[in-house]
Amino acid sequence: MSKKVSLTRYLVEQQRVDGLIPGQLRLLIEVVARACKRISFEINKGALGHVMGSAGSENVQGEVQKKLDIIANEVLIEANEWGGHLAAMASEEMEGIYVVPNRYPQGEYLLLFDPLDGSSNIDVNVSIGTIFSVLEKPQDHPGVTVDDFLQPGSKQVAAGYCIFGPQTTLVLTVGDGVAMFTLDREQGSFILVEENIRIPEDTQEFSINMSNMRHWDPAIRRYIDECLEGADGPRGKNFNMRWIASMVADIHRILCRGGIFMYPWDKREPQKPGKLRLMYEANPMGWLIEQAGGAASTGHQRILEVQPSQLHQRVSVIMGAKNEVERIDRYYQELEASGNN
Ligand SMILES: O=P(O)(O)OC[C@H]1O[C@](O)(COP(=O)(O)O)[C@@H](O)[C@@H]1O
Ligand SMILES: [Mg+2]
Ligand SMILES: [Mg+2]
């Protein structure tokens, strides 16, 4: 594909050549991209736009909401309710689903999003993002319910994120590889900068919040200990570490230069399967990683095969370089076989 291909043209080409993107889905992706553009402009205003700091409220997960969490949520809802060809939406910032009022065009899709990922980084001017996932609404009944959303990640028909960093870049999959589009602010459109992104199967860079080390289970502890032993240890090579605390930014780095990302189950809140949310964080990111040749696992099963039972379900996340993810899966299997888990 030649240079200066806009997102619109890319999607039209995909629709025409591969037949992968039905018309309504194409429009939906474009509306999400437009909303991300608006969110990007709001973020850029920073303190000048009075968008920084806490909103003084909590979301359904009991987390303090930042003003930008709420602004981004509203921008996505407003843009998509009339232009998105959707049946309903779900968000990290809303307890229940948002059914598109019937005065707007109705569609067959369900949109899930983390409107602002990496909220703790907003006020310190570090990269943050918007993550989204699209499912088809089951057609066996009229109306839409929460149960319609409870589909495994393998059923996604589109997924991606927009990173707001030194550049604003939208990263997308519709099941035919991963493509990246950077916002050209003068032109006002997302321009294709890379397609067929591939993640190397091996890596020497891991991403995990090391302050949780004492809470990890033995499989993760073993993996990280071996990495830290470097060239003298069983891995025979030195490892580098990065942790940005915005999943979007950590996964973006992995799509750009490889690596492995982990936010596994740990003992702090043992009843919770993990910290990250399955349906609007782990599933879209897991699909992007798989589409780029990587792997995404809970340690026990492929993330995309987890059957959700709740909208805001959490999950253990290990994703990135295929051989590293498989190694950790193996460590979990060995742990189970030894009866020490
Ligand atoms: O502060 P911690 O425990 O390292 O957690 C960081 C993780 O939490 C998250 O910020 C959660 O996302 P939200 O900001 O959307 O709640 C991830 O992006 C990131 O990987
Ligand atoms: Mg998040
Ligand atoms: Mg968020």
pLDDT in tens, 198-250: 999 999 999 999 999 999 999 999 999 999 999 999 999 999 999 999 999 99
Residue with tokens 């589409």: 291
| Average pLDDT value for the chain | 94
Neighbouring CB atoms inside 10 A of 52's CB total 17
How sure is the predictor about 341, in pLDDT bands with cuts at 50, 70 and 90? low
Region 86-105: what's the mean pLDDT? 93
- Ligand lying closest to the C-alpha of residue 115: 3
> How remote is the CA of residue 48 from the centroid of ligand 3, in Å?
22
Mean pLDDT, rounded, for 163-168: 97
Q: How far is the CA of 65 from the centre of ligand 3 (A)?
A: 9
* Residues of each domain in the chain carrying CATH 3.30.540.10: 7-194
- Number of CB atoms found within 10 A of residue 142's CB: 5
Domain at 205-338, CATH from 3.40.50.620, 3.40.50.2300, 1.20.1070.10, 3.40.190.80: 3.40.190.80
Lowest mean pLDDT among 7-21, 71-85, 276-290: 7-21
- Ligand 1: residues within 6 Å at CB? 63, 92, 114, 117-120, 209, 245-247, 263
Give the pair of three-digit tokens for residue 39: 């969110």
Residue 83 identity: G
Biggest CA–CA distance in the chain, Å, is 66
Which residues make up the CATH 3.40.190.80 domain(s) of the chain?
205-338
Say how many C-beta atoms besides its own lie within 10 A of residue 42's C-beta: 17
204 phi/psi in degrees, rounded to 5: -125, 30
**Nearest ligand, measured from the Cα of 250:** 1
Taking the CB of residue 101, how many other CB atoms lie within 10 A of it? 9
Atom of ligand 1 nearest to the CA of 209: 4
Q: Are the C-beta atoms of residues 108 and 24 closer than 8 Å to each other?
A: yes
CA of 194 to the centre of ligand 2 (A): 24
Q: Report pTM.
A: 0.96
Query: Is 3.30.428.10 the CATH number for 7-194?
Result: no
Q: Is the pLDDT of residue 255 over 90?
A: yes
Strands 106-117 and 86-91: parallel
